[in-house]
């Protein structure tokens, strides 16, 4: 007599076979001899039953199924050299047996298998047409950075001040690269309909400074784009602020907790001002399709890593000589060129006890002020007085929001 648990396992195994079989059946040409719904259903029952009989019967049955799969491939290889059908037969058998041990995981893997089979056309188009060679190379580079390089880097500080941690520095590099990739994917997915603001937001993950200059230059080429160009520049700075918050969260969780309200107010102010500009004017037909270049700027990420290392050591040295005020002054100056590197060092010094939370919170506001000053200067020379005024007002609103958060909370 079957117990309820055994019955659920057998039903799950049969469901896996039927699901995969239905998908395979629909992919076959009419009058095809390939394995379809009946074959996969029978294989799933065979897998579940053989597993319940023990390891030796299961292994023998698996070998027999494998022999049949090889024979099927040899018979059809001349007209269909693919291995998907044969691999699916073996996978159905194994997943059906696995259902006797773990129903949820086996079910999930069965559904995933069916999705992959059904998505053949889309996956082929994605890999052969939609993804460029450069995008594939950048994606592999990001994976190598996260999976190969990061695990081998030491977590302990390598300097006498305890601020230079290679693992933390490389985490920031990966964050910058991943943000650029996320922006690129969303950019391509959304296409041209959302126009200039979307392009501005996602370009800000790579470099909000470069985006500010770029949209100022575009405004010079087309004077009607004042409001959308300024909004795009502010949205680029919104993306930079998001990345800034992510860096603080990675390096110093305690500083992030203390800055939740200021960051929230700064973000709201920036969004509201950008939205106001977009209401005044909405561009139509702006082509936001990314070019064929890199998904993210590797040079930018590596530059951040180099600056982080140098600034961390410089700030620690100045802190050792002059106390926290010397280090904080250095970071504010560095933020004019690279705010994310300064944020990393500020978070590290806060975690090491060089700054108390009050000083660190005002230090964050100081970094935002320094970075804003540099971007206002750049906006003036790239886009003119009106562009500089609008971008400056938006960035000042962000700073006022952050300062209000520090004062009130």
Residues 149 and 68 in one domain: no
Residues 242 and 213 in one domain: yes
- Asked whether the predicted pLDDT for residue 288 surpasses 50, the reply is no
DSSP per-residue codes, 192-260: TTTHHHHHHHHHHHHHHHHHHHHHHHHHHH-GGGHHHHHHHHHHHHHHHHHHHHHHHHHH-HHHHHHTH
**What letter does residue 354 receive in the DSSP assignment?**
S
Q: Return the H-helix or E-strand segment holding 16.
A: helix 4-27
d(CA 296, CA 206): 6
Render pLDDT for 125-145 as a digit per residue (tens, 0 to 9): 666 666 667 777 878 888 888
Q: Cβ contacts of residue 10 below 8 Å, gap of 6+?
A: 2, 45, 48
d(CA 204, CA 334): 19
Render pLDDT for 306-315 as a digit per residue (tens, 0 to 9): 766 776 677 6
Residues 46 and 190 in one domain: no
**What letter does residue 118 receive in the DSSP assignment?**
H
Greater confidence (175 vs 241) lies with: 241
**What letter does residue 176 receive in the DSSP assignment?**
H
Residues 115 and 148 in one domain: no
Q: What is the mean pLDDT of residues 19-23?
A: 86
Residue 399 confidence (pLDDT): 93
Categorize the per-residue pLDDT at 193 as very low, low, confident or very high, splitting at 50, 70 and 90. very low
Candidates 303, 283, 187; CA nearest to 231 is: 283
Residue 331 confidence (pLDDT): 73
Render pLDDT for 42-62 as a digit per residue (tens, 0 to 9): 888 888 888 988 888 888 988
Q: What is the mean pLDDT of residues 96-114?
A: 88
Domain boundary among 73, 104, 126: 126
Containing structural domain, residue 83: 4-126
Render pLDDT for 64-73 as a digit per residue (tens, 0 to 9): 888 888 887 7
Residues 138 and 73 in one domain: no
Residues 12 and 26 in one domain: yes
- Asked whether the predicted pLDDT for residue 398 surpasses 90, the reply is yes
Distances 66 to 59, 86, 103, 407 between C-alpha atoms, Å: 10, 8, 24, 70
Residues 353 and 280 in one domain: yes
Domain boundary among 104, 126, 148: 126
Question: Which residue is listed with tokens 């973000």?
Answer: 267
What token pair was written down for 93?
């058998």
Candidates 262, 205, 198, 271; CA nearest to 239 is: 205
Residues 264 and 348 in one domain: yes
Residue 270 confidence (pLDDT): 92
Residue 4 confidence (pLDDT): 65
Residues 68 and 184 in one domain: no
- Asked whether the predicted pLDDT for residue 123 surpasses 90, the reply is no
Categorize the per-residue pLDDT at 325 as very low, low, confident or very high, splitting at 50, 70 and 90. low
Residues 202 and 289 in one domain: yes
Domain boundary among 126, 161, 179: 126
> Are the beta carbons of 58 and 49 closer than 8 angstroms?
no
Greater confidence (260 vs 134) lies with: 260
Greater confidence (168 vs 29) lies with: 168
Under DSSP, is residue 99 helix (H, G, I), strand (E, B) or coil? Answer: coil
Residue 295 confidence (pLDDT): 64
Candidates 210, 236, 216, 194; CA nearest to 398 is: 236
Across the chain, mean pLDDT equals 79
CA 204 to centroid of chain Cα atoms:
14
Cβ of 321: how many Cβ atoms within 10 Å?
9
- Asked whether the predicted pLDDT for residue 20 surpasses 50, the reply is yes
Render pLDDT for 355-365 as a digit per residue (tens, 0 to 9): 878 888 888 89
Residues 229 and 329 in one domain: yes
Residues 115 and 153 in one domain: no
**What is the number of domains present in the chain?**
2
- Asked whether the predicted pLDDT for residue 106 surpasses 80, the reply is yes
């Amino acid at each position: 007599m079957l117990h309820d648990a055994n019955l659920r396992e057998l039903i799950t195994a049969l469901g896996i076979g039927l699901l995969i079989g239905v998908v395979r059946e629909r992919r076959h040409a009419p009058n095809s001899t390939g394995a379809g719904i009946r074959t996969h259903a029978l294989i799933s029952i065979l897998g579940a039953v053989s597993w319940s009989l023990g390891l030796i019967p299961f292994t023998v049955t698996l070998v027999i199924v494998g022999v049949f799969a090889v024979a099927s491939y040899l018979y059809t290889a001349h007209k269909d050299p693919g291995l998907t059908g044969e691999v699916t037969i073996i996978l159905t058998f194994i997943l059906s047996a696995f259902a006797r041990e773990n129903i949820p995981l086996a079910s999930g893997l069965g559904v995933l298998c069916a999705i992959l089979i059904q998505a053949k056309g889309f996956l082929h188009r994605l890999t052969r047409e939609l993804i460029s060679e450069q995008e594939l190379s950048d994606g592999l580079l990001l994976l190598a950075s996260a999976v190969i390089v990061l695990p081998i880097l030491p977590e302990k500080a390598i300097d006498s001040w305890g601020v230079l941690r290679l693992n933390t520095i490389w985490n920031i590099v990966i964050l910058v690269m991943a943000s650029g990739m996320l922006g690129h994917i969303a950019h391509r997915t959304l296409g041209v309909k959302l126009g200039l603001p979307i392009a501005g937001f996602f370009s800000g993950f790579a470099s909000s400074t470069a985006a500010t200059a770029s949209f100022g230059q575009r405004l010079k080429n087309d004077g009607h784009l004042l409001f959308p160009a300024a909004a795009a520049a502010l949205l680029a700075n919104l993306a930079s602020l998001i990345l800034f918050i992510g860096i603080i969260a990675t390096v110093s969780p305690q500083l992030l907790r203390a800055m939740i309200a200021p960051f929230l107010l700064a973000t709201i102010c920036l969004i509201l001002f950008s939205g106001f500009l977009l209401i005044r004017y909405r561009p139509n037909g702006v082509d936001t399709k990314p070019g064929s270049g890199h998904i993210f700027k590797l040079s930018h990420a590596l530059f951040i890593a180099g600056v982080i290392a140098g600034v961390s050591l410089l700030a620690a040295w100045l802190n050792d000589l002059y106390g926290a005020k010397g280090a904080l002054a250095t970071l504010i100056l560095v933020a004019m060129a690279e705010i994310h590197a300064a944020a990393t060092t500020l978070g590290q010094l806060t975690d090491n006890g060089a700054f108390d939370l009050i000083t660190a919170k005002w230090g964050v506001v100081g970094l935002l002020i320094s970075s804003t000053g540099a971007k206002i200067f750049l906006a003036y020379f790239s886009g003119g007085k009106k562009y500089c005024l609008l971008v400056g007002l938006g960035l000042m609103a962000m700073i006022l929001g952050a300062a209000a958060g520090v004062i009130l909370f």
